[in-house]
């Protein structure tokens, strides 16, 4: 029953007030002990919930995976571990673990692949785990991804050599630590939205990514916005959302 059907059934008296309330509530979330799963998210935001794996036990994660597969959704778990994957794979044998990106993905319903691409660009090799989190997230939701690694600003010719590949994408994710200058340079070279992801790569006055974050927020290039430090997932999710507009 759609919401309209429920309301009509309530007006016509087919449903009692209590039945209407239960029917309506059931459409929006489901409580499973420790969590309140948001089953309405796809309708509202165009994409279902993703499981934030940090702080959760393997058993809790496996519970949540089971619940989501029960409602016919593909599952992604972020910031998770091999131990959690072991628990998940028992109930979802198709689940894969991406160690670098710390992601579990379990895909039962192939997602339509878009025709336009997302570019994921890194400043240095050490930024790859966060970049992979972004790239795999975009792919999980249906965006093809072009990966361009280790083209930081200290050797700007490496970037210039690959500008055409970047310009060929519909949206660009730029991942950088240390001084976080790459998004500014990329933003000045392309006519596409740039999503900047600061990473915690660096030492001393990099302050675990704060310097990169601040640099990106103050970018002198237009068309750049920023997500949280090491938030590859958020960047990949947003990139796919923009790519799908």
Q: Which of residues 15-54 bind a copy of itself (CB under 8 A)?
A: 25, 28-29, 34-36, 38, 40-41, 44-47, 50, 52, 54
137 near 157, Cβ under 8 Å?
no
What's the closest the beta carbon of residue 201 comes to a copy of itself, in angstroms? 6
Name 192's Cβ contacts closer than 8 Å, sequence gap at least 6.
167, 169, 170, 171, 172, 223
Residue 170 in the binding site for a copy of itself (CB under 8 A): yes
Q: Mask of contacts with a copy of itself, 57-96, x by CB under 8 A?
A: ---x------------------x-----------------
> CA 170, 175, 180, 182 torsion: positive or negative?
negative
What's the closest the beta carbon of residue 196 comes to a copy of itself, in angstroms? 8
The residue from 97, 138, 166, 234 that contacts a copy of itself (CB under 8 A) is: 234
- Judged by beta carbon, residue 96 or residue 162, the one nearer a copy of itself is 162
Q: Tell me how far apart the alpha carbons of residues 186 and 180 are, in angstroms, rounded to a whole number.
A: 11
- Judged by beta carbon, residue 93 or residue 205, the one nearer a copy of itself is 205
What's the closest the beta carbon of residue 189 comes to a copy of itself, in angstroms? 6
Alpha helices in 105-176 (DSSP H): 128-140, 156-160, 163-167
* Helix, strand, coil percent content, the chain, rounded in steps of 5: 45, 15, 40
Q: 129-168: which residues touch a copy of itself (CB under 8 A)?
A: 149-158, 160-161
204 near 210, Cβ under 8 Å?
no
């Amino acid at each position: 029953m759609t919401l309209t059907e429920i309301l009509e059934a309530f007006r016509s008296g087919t449903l009692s007030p209590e039945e209407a309330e239960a029917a309506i509530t059931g459409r929006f979330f489901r409580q499973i002990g420790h969590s309140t799963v948001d089953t309405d998210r796809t309708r509202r935001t165009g994409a279902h919930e993703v499981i934030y794996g940090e702080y959760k036990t393997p058993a809790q994660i496996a519970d949540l995976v089971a619940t989501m597969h029960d409602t016919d959704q593909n599952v992604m778990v972020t910031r998770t571990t091999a131990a959690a994957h072991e628990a998940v794979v028992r109930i979802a044998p198709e689940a894969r673990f991406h160690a670098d990106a710390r992601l579990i993905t379990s895909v039962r319903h192939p997602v339509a692949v878009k025709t336009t691409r997302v570019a994921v660009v890194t400043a240095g090799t050490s930024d790859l785990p966060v970049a992979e989190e972004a790239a795999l997230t975009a792919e999980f939701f249906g965006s093809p991804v072009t990966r361009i690694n280790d083209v930081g600003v200290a050797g700007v010719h490496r970037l210039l050599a690959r500008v055409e590949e970047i310009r060929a994408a519909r949206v660009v994710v730029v991942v950088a630590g240390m001084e976080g200058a790459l998004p500014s340079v990329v933003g000045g070279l392309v006519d596409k939205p740039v999503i900047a992801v600061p990473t915690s790569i660096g030492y001393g006055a990099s302050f675990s990514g704060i310097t990169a974050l601040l640099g990106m927020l103050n970018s002198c290039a237009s068309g750049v916005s920023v997500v949280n430090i090491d938030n590859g997932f958020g960047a990949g999710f947003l990139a796919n959302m923009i790519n799908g507009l």
